[in-house]
Structure 1
Amino acid sequence: MTNLDGVFRREWGPAVAALARWSGDLTVAEDAVQEAFAEALRAWPRDGLPDNPGGWITRVARNRALDRFRRESARSGKELAAVTDNAWMHIDGVPIHPVRDDELRMMFTCAHPALDGASQLALTLRLISGLTVPEIARALLQSEAAVGQRITRAKSKIRAANIPLRVPPAELLPDRVPHVLACIYSVFTEGYWSTAGPSAIRDELCDEGVRLGGEMCALMPDERDAQALAALMLLHDSRRQTRVDSAGALVPLDEQDRTSWDRVRIARGLDRLSMAEGSTGAYLPQAVIAAAHATAASWELTDWTLICAAYDRLIDLTGSPVARANRALAVGFRDGFDSGLRALDEIADDPRLARSSTVASIRADLLRRSGRLPEAGKWYRIALDCSGSEPAQAFLRARWAEVEPV
């Protein structure tokens, strides 16, 4: 029996987007799709996986939504009839609307200016990407309670303000692009650096992020930030298959088999990077860093000067504590590990990193490489206390075992 989690990851967003467009109600759409997946858990082990799992989920969700509408006394008979008559054009073979259009439509809808930026991002990641509240909280470096409250308030505001679930007019699209790009990158990031669970990589989220990035470039080919993001994801994704070994264990960048990197994706990413020239956003310096790694003939020939300069630009643009921590690691390779540790000290107490293992794991790595093994062991233990995917924790345990005295 196919893993239902993989089907969920692929089909959640398209189903919610289709149901929301059809019903005009985000809460109804989300609840109906959840009920459909619950039904799939009961039916598919017994009956087998349907030929079109997405169509099956969407059909069942639509029926559950209709049942709900019929139960709501506040919804007039005429309104219900209008919803019912909104024909399901090709439900047996193709979803009601093109999946790609529906997902981008929902992303642009969730970017409505009536919602604050943090709520826009949290709502979109929940509805379109199917990320759980804990996953979103880790991605945004926020508490689960805060994220849950933001999502609830955002849905309530959309309903109370009667915000239409449609793509805004063309002249309004550019204002909403930053939100859509941030959502796409968050989807890809959760796939590429899974923050919890048994797998280090979630292929379906990586694929979805890359696909949506390409869709944005097709929709708005002159949007340089979209080109930069597409480049960033393609360049990272070129290494996806080498980031874990046959047993699913993480393989660090300096130990990966560069001959197995996807050269087609690297070439496509570099093409996108050239089209992003002139971008003033944060994706361009990140793409430059990814390109420096993707094009280095070996780990020893990596251009750390270029990487540190790109991090400097990224920090100027965002002030990101994660970027500052990663820059400290790059400084360690450029100027020596003690220099990297001093740079890390400057960011170590930032409260925004309190829920992350970033500082502890980078400090442990720099100490290990500098030969200060007992100190490295201490920081590997601290990094292990932070939440993370099972492969990430296994990697840290293996490193810890390397530096601990026998």
Structure 2
Amino acid sequence: MTIPYGVISDPHYHNWNTFAVSDANGLNSRLAILLESTKEAAIAIKEAGAKHLFVAGDTFHVRGTITPSVLHYVTETYKWIINELGLEVVMLAGNHDLETNDSVYSANAAASLQSIGVQIVCGQQPFSVEVGDVNVHFISWRNSHAELLSDMKALRKRLEGDNHDIVIHTSVNKAIPTMPDVGIDAQELKDIGFRLVLSGHYHNHKEVLPGVVSVGALTHQNWGDVGTLAGYMVVQPDGSFTQHETSAPKFVNLEEGVDDSEVRGNYVRFYAAIEADEEGVKIKNTLNSMGAKGVVCNFVRKSSMMTGSASTSATSKIDSLGESVSAYCQIMHDTDGGFDVKALGALCGDILLEAETGTSE
């Protein structure tokens, strides 16, 4: 029997602060987008002929804490997916779901969803589902890479045949190009012998090696997700798969010369050198009029941009902490080089934004 199945990962349901407000019923606007994206993915997966929706970990965002307003709306969403849409849902424990370092059922924030029919996978034992002629296996979060690999090998040794896929939640090296190799090498996972290894945890969809796939997050969630591929997967009975983005806003870094399609509906961080504050206000208003979902501007005064020297003669012209930091990064790049000044500026901008607005997530 040939039946596809659907996979999402890392939805990180949360009452987000940045670019968010809550309505009179306590529904956070960013959470609402996440829930609508979940329904969008579930509908598409159902229309593809699937009967199962698998969640590859990190259902919730804050470890050891879940607010009633998040739990209520998430519960209602998955109740709709199960009862109205008719999909069976299997939800894997990820590290963000857990109050403890290890997979302990009672410490899993998603455990209460079991009462509405979600199959929760959390603990030391693997869980398996038959999807037509394919068996899909699940191993929940392991705090040790060695333990996860050992458990995967022990499971595979007990299985006969080739039609076995596995869903895990771990860091896979090279899934995010800028991430240092602190996870498991894709070849190690491939050599265990599963047809497909589908891993949550890293927020970028990528087939690192044939058959070893980072599922990627359901949506972009913060500035750290800039440039990543988010969405959901549909896996076919022959092991082929497709990845699809949802209509959720993306976090994007932009500079001068952008067009409407890059701005409209997205969270935009805009970089520019300006002469005066009035120019900055005009740029921000223009971005809003182009349909940005939210705007953060990183402006540097042209008068503060110094090249080729670490001289501080223009320091007095810098009239904000952001400009000061940006100018310092530019000075260090011009004198020492060896790093991506734009990436460093973005990182500094994130830190400053959290400090100034109290939006640390």
The answer to which structure, 1 or 2, has the higher relative contact order (CA under 8 A, 6+ apart) is: 2
| Higher helix proportion (structure 1 or 2) | 1
| Higher strand proportion (structure 1 or 2) | 2
